[in-house]
Structure 1
């Protein structure tokens, strides 16, 4: 009977190991950013003469990401932004922003961000490092990210959401229009909700 017991034990151990591995793999998933439901946004703000904040957003963008709560450092994200969709709630200003002084959307209709690594993981806070291409220039930036939450939605899907922020200097991306010394840095605020594919 001993050999039979050993076989049963080995089989049970194999089942447990296989189940554990399957559970681990199930945590890693690919997500599409939910722009159709407007559950994501790319916002920006810049000081106006140092006296107040000018707020805006990009209305059209798309992207995908992978996320594994068991191994956050393996996560990745890729985003494409339609630069002509810039919206500061002022038609004349937006026309100026789309022109050669700023975004030059006729030459550079798309901005992109592609992550290269995830670092400084501390629970549900981490940094996403990647390449931002804007105005024809690619620079490495770091986005400080916080997980908002995850779980099933009422329609049978599964979602996870994050918020993040970073700063970029306009001159680093070849945008040298003189807005004054107080208006050289743009703050970006990102809200991303993904639907598991």
Structure 2
């Protein structure tokens, strides 16, 4: 009986230590793609994308093998102001009629220890693809009340709008957008 318990425990440990694929929990509203940009240098404008999907592969014992893919529906931009959203979705900014999605596909995951990492990858926005880096912090992982297993991360990055062909001039303080990404994934 003791050998069976040890074997079962070793099997469970092995199963949790292997790479697993996770799907973003967007239906349960446990994942967010948000942004902020200075408005004329006087205040912050916050917004989010209400529709997006993605997945990631993560192995706690080998985090450098992790990967992420995300697709964002740019038409779902929401800054809590209908007229501003219309402008941001228009040709001056995202031009969602021409570019209805933005994508991110990772190329590297560099663990920094203590749940910190840098996720590198290619962001395609407004028809332009550029490499970006996202500072990532592992929030945690474990069993959920419904018999599944979840893993959560938060990440931040920033980039210049002009790097992605968005040239609308809001002044020198409003050239860089910050992205805040919070993801809870459900193991598949």
Give CA-to-partner distance per residue, 1:35-87, whole Å, 9 cap, x none: 00000000000001111000000000000001001011110000000000000
Contact 1:60 1:82 in 2 (8 A): yes
Once the two structures are TM-superposed, the CA of residue 103 in structure 1 deviates from its matched residue by: 0.3
- List gaps (5 residues or longer) in structure 1: 1-11
1:183 paired with 2:174, answer: yes
CA distance in 2, matches of 1:106, 1:162: 31
Contact 2:52 2:71 in 1 (8 A): yes
Cross-structure match for 2:91? 100
State which structure, 1 or 2, has the greater radius of gyration over its C-alpha atoms.
1
Could you say what the CA RMSD is over the residues aligned between the two structures, in angstroms? Answer: 1.8
CA distance in 2, matches of 1:157, 1:25: 13
Consecutive aligned runs of 4 or more in structure 1 exceeding 3 Å deviation: 19-26
Give CA-to-partner distance per residue, 1:110-136, whole Å, 9 cap, x none: 100000001143121000000000000
Contact 1:24 1:70 in 2 (8 A): no
CA distance in 2, matches of 1:78, 1:132: 10
- List gaps (5 residues or longer) in structure 2: none
After TM superposition, the structure 1 = structure 2 runs for residues 66-85 of structure 1, keeping only pairs within 5 Å, are: 66-85=57-76
CA distance in 2, matches of 1:111, 1:143: 16
Contact 2:21 2:56 in 1 (8 A): yes
Give the length in aligned residue pairs. Answer: 182
CA distance in 2, matches of 1:60, 1:155: 24
TM-score (norm 1): 0.88
Contact 1:72 1:121 in 2 (8 A): no
Q: 2:104 aligns with which of 100, 109, 113?
A: 113
Cross-structure match for 2:37? 46
Once the two structures are TM-superposed, the CA of residue 26 in structure 1 deviates from its matched residue by: 4.0
Other structure's SS at 2:169 match: coil
Cross-structure match for 1:60? 51
1:160 paired with 2:151, answer: yes
Once the two structures are TM-superposed, the CA of residue 20 in structure 1 deviates from its matched residue by: 6.2
Cross-structure match for 1:87? 78
Contact 2:63 2:111 in 1 (8 A): no
1:30 paired with 2:24, answer: no
Give CA-to-partner distance per residue, 1:90-119, whole Å, 9 cap, x none: 000000011100001011001000000011
Once the two structures are TM-superposed, the CA of residue 24 in structure 1 deviates from its matched residue by: 4.0
